[in-house]
Structure 1
Amino acid sequence: MPHRTVGNVMTPAEQVVTVSPGTAYKEIVRLLTEHAVSALPVLGEGKRVLGIVSEHDLLAKESRAQAPDPLRPPLTPKESLTRHKAQAATAVELMTAPAVTIGAEEDVSAAARKLEAHRIKRMPVVDGNGRLVGIVSRRDLLRIFLRSDEELEEEVRSLLVDSFWIAPEGWTAQVYDGRVLLSGRMDRRSTVRIAESAVRRIDGVVAVESDLTYAEDDTDLRPVKEPPFKGVFSGWHRDHSV
């Protein structure tokens, strides 16, 4: 079942606010504030993504400004990095590198897992050469849940009938606020399970409720195991007595 890809929901590169390695701290703050975004890709030659600079990277300067003992050697790698960023003045010194990126052909569920795993709000979308083609955020991924009930209802029916070859008679699919109600009767219990599972994976479906019944419970059926083939001569042996 096809899912919407990152390319379907991302902000394209021409609309993405970016900075160069030499962009100054105050300019980065201005761009973040003016465009109401939480992070900016740092681009090198050929629009290749070198890293990403975020609000978190910039806050190191403010947090270290009030820290005691500025001359004390850092005790951990994390503290050392924080001190370095607190003293940084340009994007290349502030940025997190390498940036977490994704390809435009990946589906939205893969993007959601990546954002969650790395605990980030947005990430650059790149081509095979690492060049920026867009940016995708948590908000972009949530847009799939804005699909209309009519659109979802049409996709449910199309998916089950055209892709899974489930007979269209005897059952219905109704959608309210993204919640799908399946009701009626299908031929087999396995068909009901397939239908319910497939609908849950449709992009934009909030939940699935099912009142489906079935004519035959085929879940306990097992394929008949054929006995090993024995040739017509399998019972014969050569008589060496002659």
Structure 2
Amino acid sequence: MKRKVISIPAHATLREAAARLVAHHIGMLPVVDEAMHPVGVVALKDLLNLSMPDFVRLVEHLDFVHEFGAVESFIPDAATLARPVKDYMRPVTTVKEECGLLRAFAIMLKHDLHDLPVVDEQGRLTGIASRVDIGTAILATWSHG
């Protein structure tokens, strides 16, 4: 688990969220309240979906599309980027610090998550566990058997 967590307040803009994702080279931002309780998440894929052409959602197989041409450089309009994160965040799934590795991994699989916010007993954000963090911790125990 990573203890240095990059998060964002719910009132921050989508432009600010994008800047944090880029600056810290991360794929998910927990959205927190003033007391550092997670209230949602904004993922890289959520923001990238703002640039995705509508037809992508309608086409079952994209194999025939070799490039998107002019839409490759599409940037959402200023009004969209000025919207607050709370308008785009998804519900957050968390685990407590004492959660077992297999349980945490099962939760990630069930909810199709790559990153999982970790909270303390008071529900405050204390870390982020990735699939790689959890998976390597599980595999590390195999060499002790």
- 2:5 maps to what in 1? 16
Q: Does 1:53 align with 2:42?
A: yes
* Pairing partner for 1:111 from 104, 115, 127: 104
- 1:34 maps to what in 2? 23
CA distance in 1: counterparts of 2:140 and 2:18, whole angstroms: 32
| 1:1-242 superposed matches below 5 A | 10-12=1-3, 15-63=4-52, 66-67=53-54, 87=80, 89-97=83-91, 99-144=92-137, 145-146=139-140, 149=143, 152=144, 156=145
- State the secondary structure of the residue aligned to 2:129: strand
After TM superposition, give the deviation of residue 147 of structure 1 in Å: 5.9
- What's the CA shift string for 1:168-208, capped at 9, x where partnerless? xxxxxxxxxxxxxxxxxxxxxxxxxxxxxxxxxxxxxxxxx
- What's the CA shift string for 1:136-181, capped at 9, x where partnerless? 11011122224694xx1xxx4xxxxxxxxxxxxxxxxxxxxxxxxx
* Unpaired runs of at least 5, structure 2: 56-79
Paired residue type of 1:62: S
Paired residue type of 2:22: T
CA distance in 1: counterparts of 2:29 and 2:117, whole angstroms: 9
TM-score (norm 2): 0.73
CA distance in 1: counterparts of 2:36 and 2:12, whole angstroms: 15
- 1:165 maps to what in 2? none
Select the structure of larger CA radius of gyration. Answer: 1
Moved over 3 A (4+): 146-149
**RMSD (Å) for aligned C-alpha atoms:** 2.2
Paired residue type of 2:90: T
Paired residue type of 2:86: V
- State the secondary structure of the residue aligned to 2:7: coil
After TM superposition, give the deviation of residue 18 of structure 1 in Å: 0.7
CA distance in 1: counterparts of 2:97 and 2:117, whole angstroms: 10
What percentage of aligned pairs have identical amino acids? 26
**CA 1:54–1:106 in structure 2 vs 1: closer, same or farther (change >3 Å)?**
same
Asked if the contact 2:116–2:129 (Cα under 8 Å) also holds between the matched residues in 1, the reply is yes
* Unpaired runs of at least 5, structure 1: 1-9, 69-86, 157-242
